[in-house]
Amino acid sequence: MIPEKYEKGLFQVGAGTYAYVQPDGIWGMSNAGLIVDGDQSMLVDTLMTLRLTDEMLTVMADAVPASRKIDILVNSHADIDHTYGNQLVGGARIVASQGTADEFFKVPPDYLQKLVTTDHSEGGLYIAEKMGTHLFDYSDIVLTPPTETFDREATIMVGDKEVRLINVGPAHTSGDTLIHSVQDRVVFTGDLLFLGVHPAIWAGSVDGWISACDTMLGLDIDTVVSGHGPVTDKRGVQLFRDYLVTVRDEVRKRFDAGLSVEEAAFDLALSPPYDEWISPERMVGTVNYLYRLWGSTETINDFVGIFAALSRYAKRKQACREGLHSAGCGHAH
């Protein structure tokens, strides 16, 4: 159950449980969820902007009357495409792991707004291309943090439904939470699961991420709602677990061979279906993270610098696809 194509919108995945998905899962296009029972409701994550979040809440309210007042919001982690819309869920309990709460203010909207409008460096221009004001408006966002935190596990009742919150971080971030609607046999993963799009692996723990996949595979579930990509089942989790293991092991070979971060990323050739996943330039961030983990002193250590390297990768890959052979391409044309 790993569809190649999927549509934007709200889809029922259980009795009173819904996935809100945004193709194609690229920069800022994340998924969210809704769990209701009786007149009680839980929202799983908000979206990148107030406009996107308001659109989602309107769709939910029209389809599911109990969602017209959100009682509980759970943030799966602190990334901005899962939290920037929090202010629109007024009066709700906002629940997150302590690790998520600790990272909540790492990218303030005013910083991002200034970055995409005034930084004309290579990295700044790339960020503006992917997350600029022509796509996203950050001007009215007020960061609205969790009002309640937990350490490793918590259980919240939504009506008569049991929802388990399981902090499996550090993985993608320091405090990633799985939201398991037990009776529905559904789990919302946040960014612990990417499908069809390369993940951003720039922090956290790859080994912890693999362990998080094992936790998902051990749950009594039928349906898995990814953070980026289509709704799936355990086969999607296994596919992504295999991706993480393959990337970790292949990058290690290039680290041991002495390749630079950017050369290792460009040299990495993944087999199907991973070779068709979008945003392959993110592999630079993954390689950079692993190199730093393994003790390299030649990694990129600033936010904008990483995006500059992503830009160089994307341009090089495009030239290679167009048959414009260059000295660093490594392919015959």
Averaged pLDDT for residues 47-75: 98
Split at pLDDT 50, 70, 90, the class of 257 is very high
Distance CA 137, CA 127 (A): 14
pLDDT at 42 over 80: yes
pLDDT at 19 over 60: yes
Averaged pLDDT for residues 236-241: 98
Distance CA 127, CA 307 (A): 7
What's the confidence (pLDDT) of residue 75?
A: 98
Residue ranges of domains in the chain, CATH in brackets: 9-107+143-244 (3.60.15.10), 109-140 (no CATH), 257-321 (no CATH)
Tokens of 229: 């990509």
What's the confidence (pLDDT) of residue 154?
A: 98
Phi-psi region of 185 (alpha: psi -120 to 50; beta: other; left: phi over 0): left
pLDDT tens per residue, range 139-181: 899 999 999 999 999 999 999 999 999 999 999 999 999 999 9
pLDDT tens per residue, range 289-313: 999 999 999 999 999 999 999 999 9
What's the confidence (pLDDT) of residue 319?
A: 87
pLDDT at 324 over 70: no
User: Rounded to 5 degrees, what angle do the CA atoms 239, 97, 182 make?
Assistant: 60
DSSP 135: T
Distance CA 42, CA 61 (A): 13
pTM for the predicted model, two decimal places: 0.95
pLDDT at 333 over 50: no
User: Mean pLDDT across the chain, nearest whole number?
Assistant: 95
Contacts of 323 (CB under 8 A, 6+ apart): 333
Distance CA 118, CA 317 (A): 27
Q: Do 325 and 333 contact (CB within 8 A), yes or no?
A: yes
Distance CA 262, CA 251 (A): 11
Distance CA 17, CA 318 (A): 41
